[in-house]
Amino acid sequence: MGGESFRKKVADMAYPQEFDKQRGVSQKSKDIEKIVIELIHPIIEEKGYILVNDIYELMSNHIELSSNVEGKEWEKMPERIIKYEWKKMSEDVCDKYGYTKEPLNNALKKELGITHLTPQARPVVLHNVPKAPTLD
């Protein structure tokens, strides 16, 4: 049997995916990444950092999933999808904009001027502080 199955054809019609042939990234993922950059870039430029949990919150408040069912309202993106989308795009975002993603330590808290977290708190932070060169 050659060609596509009937089920695949129906699924492609119901849930079309437009992929960038070079990277295999759907247009929807590109759109989400663009929104995330528009949300986080000004914050990082102003404060020098953003906590990854704050990125999740921004995504939750600003990105909605459309419904394929006519007449159904738009719905918030579930947390598991938000985390999945961020995980897919975070490396590219860091590479494109020169950000570093790492767990927050006391030295970095001091360097970034973060005073609202307890000394024990170690959230992941995205920042634009250059990394110190490492010795090989």
Give the pLDDT confidence of 103-127 residue by residue, as tens digits. Answer: 998 889 999 998 888 878 889 999 9
Question: For position 1, what pLDDT does the model report?
Answer: 47
Domain boundaries, position 41: 24-98
In a domain, 123, yes or no: no
In a domain, 48, yes or no: yes
* Burial zone of 56 (CB within 10 Å; 0-12 exposed, 13-18 middle, 19+ buried): middle
Decide which of 11 and 73 is more confident. Answer: 11
In a domain, 131, yes or no: no
Query: In this structure, are strands 100-103 and 124-127 parallel, antiparallel, or unpaired?
Result: antiparallel
In a domain, 82, yes or no: yes
In a domain, 8, yes or no: no
Q: Which of 3-7, 33-37, 72-76, 83-87 has the lowest mean pLDDT?
A: 72-76
In a domain, 127, yes or no: no
In a domain, 51, yes or no: yes
In a domain, 90, yes or no: yes
How many domains would you assign to the chain?
1
pTM reported for the whole predicted model? 0.71
Question: For position 102, what pLDDT does the model report?
Answer: 93
